[in-house]
Structure 1
Amino acid sequence: MKMQILLLTLVLGLVCADQVPVLENDVLISIQLNTLQIASSNKGKITNEGPFQAYARQVELNPQNGKIFFTFYVKENGVCVQKLAEGTKVEDNVYQVTYSGENVYKILYKDENAMIAEINNKDAEGVETNIIVLYGKESDISEKAVAKFRKITADLGIPKDNIVNIISSDDCPAI
């Protein structure tokens, strides 16, 4: 019986070690996800290889040092190019990130399978753009998350024509 308990403990330990870290009392959180839909007040930023036509792969948060890290792809001449961006916490769920200008990145909603973020971008020319991103661990997420994304974009006055179903053009590799 002691041997069975020891074996069960070992198996549970190995299974738990293989799981993605989650935020528990200031421990690193690492989320594997994909960009599903993206909306923007400036559609050029999210289409035709614009800088925010980004195919997300991973977001890592480190509450101990207030950092957020993004791993994603953009397409340059039709080729997927991996990018990394880093930000610093400004307040709860709000980060200052430098990528294609200065950005305020706000996590607006998250559940077990989806996350919605708002990016306020100010590029090198001083042009300000509002971007809303719907991420998912898989392409099948709750209707609640999709409805929330649609409501946020509508509340910000982003036209439906400025919403891109980006997952349909995602042929970039996993990390």
Structure 2
Amino acid sequence: MNHASWVTVTCTINGAPYQFTLSPATPLSDLLRTQGLLSVKQGCCVGECGACTVLIDGTAIDSCLYLAAWIDGKEIRTLEGESVGGELSAVQAAYAKSGAVQCGFCTPGLVMATKALLAKPHVKPFTVQEIRRGLAGNLCRCTGYQLVVDTVLTLEKEQERND
């Protein structure tokens, strides 16, 4: 393999610094999975299902469509970075408590997309349509979505109480 065209990138993943030398054609989802970050699911690999959603500088991104060469200087967060000291994040705990998860395949992507959605400035409270639009890129075959929407509404109310 001709390594002359490879690129070197430096980034932060879940708070830890990393440096990689890689092919410019490597999808970020592939890179993250080789690092043991298996919450980054490989569903459709064409940006349709959201199972590979990660946060890049706080924005929810389908990592199957995002080239790893573009992460230079960026902060990447995966579901593995959400639990601190074995404790679930507020978003993870809300999903578990509400029963908004079933098989779990889509859950990491939904959690990360929800985290990004709740961080966006918006007129409160969210409408159901705003939540559905905000999570539209994350497909789930099990839940029917209503519990997901209810979970986001509950999280938003908790955020308001804590502000």
TM > 0.5: no
Task: Flag the structure with higher strand content.
Answer: 1
TM-score by length of 2: 0.31
Which one has the bigger helix percentage? 2
Q: TM-score, normalised by structure 1?
A: 0.29
Question: Highest Rg: 1 or 2?
Answer: 1
